[in-house]
Amino acid sequence: MHAHCFSRTFLRLAAMAFVALGFHASATAQTFTEYTIPTTIVTPNANSITPGPDGALWFTESGGNRIGRITTGGTITEFAIPTSNAFPFTITAGPDGALWFTEQDLNATKIGRITTAGAITEFSVPTANSQPTGIAAGSDGALWFTEANRNKIGRITTGGTITEFTLPGSFGTNRPFGITAGPDGALWYTVTGGNKIGRITTSGTVTEFALPNSNSGINYITTGPDGALWFTEQGAAPHRIGRMTTAGTVTEFPLPTTNGNPQAITTGPDGALWFAEGNLGQVGRISTSGAIKEFRSPGGGGTPTGAARGPDGNMWFTNGFKILKLPPPAATSTLVSSTLRSAAPCKSARPRPRSPALSIPAVRP
């Protein structure tokens, strides 16, 4: 190998190693900022997080029975939920300028609404012990939610009227979990026990797709910037990030950390998908082509669960009794990559293999 080729190859390998480990030229691009939740009576167990219409981020405290609000500057305010031990789980912004959340405890079984001023209203779900879990705003101006313990999808208007739709299969096996508004105007949801992804139109028509991985442990789901559905799998190792087209074709990408326990997933400001990893205190980033990077939170502790794109261009995550902020390192990573590509390739260069992925059409049961 020529001397100049050796030098460039060494620099390329060094840059790849630094990127794989989460190091970048700018310290800001890889530095987490931590904010501790004030509640100290019990472990807050911050869970879901979402951007609000007021320029702040709102999160659920499943253990503290509160809804939290954090400004992009790090100021936290907490609001107690009227129902005791409600176990608030998922939160999302509604079309009415308020935040809507699920109360998962079997003794609560409610959908909550909180204004940006902190006023809370609760609505009881008609089916008792249904365990409302995921929630998302639909294209019809209503909120849609999953009922994990009764195999149903619920719809609630901003006025509080609830309609329920029973899904195929039995509630003992099928546990609908995550839900998101799809690019096609329908709602897409995950079925953890049934190992499926479902689609429900705003009129209630249901279609379900069986996943190729028989023990996927699928849970959270979101719509990606590429018009596909992206979801997390925490079943059989290796844990994976999955992608499904609206036609039902599934591609799965194994995580570098075999048992990363991926949780919530969302689109970031850099055009990639970002997700929390419940094990080892990590968060991850996956490009729409399947390239994955993982980032260790300070001290490598905690259990990151929620993920949200902030109005300040940063990624925000819940992590037990803390909220984490991480500036996306995409600009730095792109600079390194473009620098390497700008040089003419050596004659001995070989194309780098792509990340392993498996594409299989999903099967309708």
For range 321-342, the mean pLDDT? 55
Identify the H or E element spanning 274. Answer: strand 273-277
The pLDDT of residue 79 is above 50 = yes
Phi and psi at 221, nearest 5°, equal -150, 150
Alpha-helical regions (H) of the chain: 3-20, 330-342
Q: Which residues sit opposite 304 in a β-bridge?
A: 319
Task: Report how many domains make up the chain.
Answer: 1
- Tell me the pLDDT tens digit for each residue of 8-17: 343 344 434 4
* pLDDT value, residue 41: 64
- Tell me the pLDDT tens digit for each residue of 177-234: 999 999 999 999 999 988 999 999 999 999 999 999 889 999 999 999 999 999 999 9
**Of the candidates 173, 172, 179, 171, the residue with the CA atom closest to the CA atom of residue 154:** 179
**CA contacts within 13 A on the Cβ side of 85:** 3
* pLDDT value, residue 126: 97
- Tell me the pLDDT tens digit for each residue of 199-214: 999 999 999 999 998 8
Kindly state the tokens that stand for 350: 């070989």
Query: CATH number, domain at 205?
Result: 2.130.10.10
* pLDDT value, residue 40: 66
Laid out side by side, the sheet with 304-309 consists of 33-36, 322-326, 315-319, 304-309
Q: Are 69 and 79 in contact (CB under 8 A)?
A: yes
pTM of the full predicted structure?
0.84
- Tell me the pLDDT tens digit for each residue of 25-46: 322 236 899 999 997 666 789 9
Domain range enclosing 290: 3-361
